[in-house]
Amino acid sequence: MPSRRDPAVVRRWVAALAGAAGLLMIIASFLPWITADTEDGGTTSITGWGGITGSSGIAGTNLNDVLDGDGTYRPGLIGLIFGVITVIAAIALAAVGGAARPHRVTAAVLALCGLLTAGWGLYRALAPGEANVFQPGETSAGLGPWCTALAGVLAIVAAGLILAGRIDPPAPPVRRSIQPR
C-alpha cells in the first residue's frame, strides 16, 4: 500500500490541482467580468465573452453584436486559451510513469500559464474597464477575473511543487561492494 508521501500519489494530487486550475480558468471565462448598475436600480453583467445579463434592456444579447464592429469585448479568451494549455499540462503530468522523473518543461508551462492568468485576472479585477459602452467608474469587477486570478495562483502552486521536487521518485539506494564496476 502506498504511503501518503509516495511520489506517485503526490504526483496525481499535483496533476489534479493543475487540472482543477485549468478547468477554473476555462469556467471563469464564461462568468461575469464586469457589472454595472442600471437606471432602474438593477444591475447588468457582461460575461468574459460579451454576453449581457441582468436587468438591462438589452439583456440576452451579446455586447460584441451591439458594438457592431466598433470594438470587441472578450477578456475571457485569455483564460480559455491558457486554461486549455494548463489542462493539457496536467494530463501530461498525470501520464508520467511511476519511476520517471516529471518533465520540468511541464512545470515551466504551468508556471507561465499561472503567471499570465493570475496577472490578467488581477489586472481586470482591479481595473475592470468600461467595455466601450460605460462611462469611467460606472463598472465594477465581476466574479470572472477573480476566479481567473485564483486559478492562476493554483497553477503556480502546482508548478512550484513540481520544481521543488515534491513528486520526484526517491533516489535509488547506493550499492556498496568491494568489487569494482
C-alpha cell at 60: 440576452
Q: Tens of pLDDT along 85-137?
A: 999 999 999 887 666 666 789 999 999 999 999 999 999 999 888 777 777 88
Burial 30-66 (b: 16+ CB within 10 A, else e): ebbbbbbeeeeeeebbbbbbbbbebebeeeeeebbeb
Q: Tens of pLDDT along 40-91?
A: 778 888 888 888 887 776 666 767 776 776 667 788 999 999 999 999 999 9
Please name which of 112, 117, 101, 113 lies closest in space to residue 167, comparing C-alpha atoms. 101
Q: Residue 54: which H helix or E strand, with range? A: strand 52-54
pTM of the model: 0.84
* Domain ranges for the chain: 7-32+73-163
> What is the full DSSP assignment across 95-116?
TS-SSSPPPHHHHHHHHHHHHH
Between 12 and 151, residue with greater pLDDT: 151
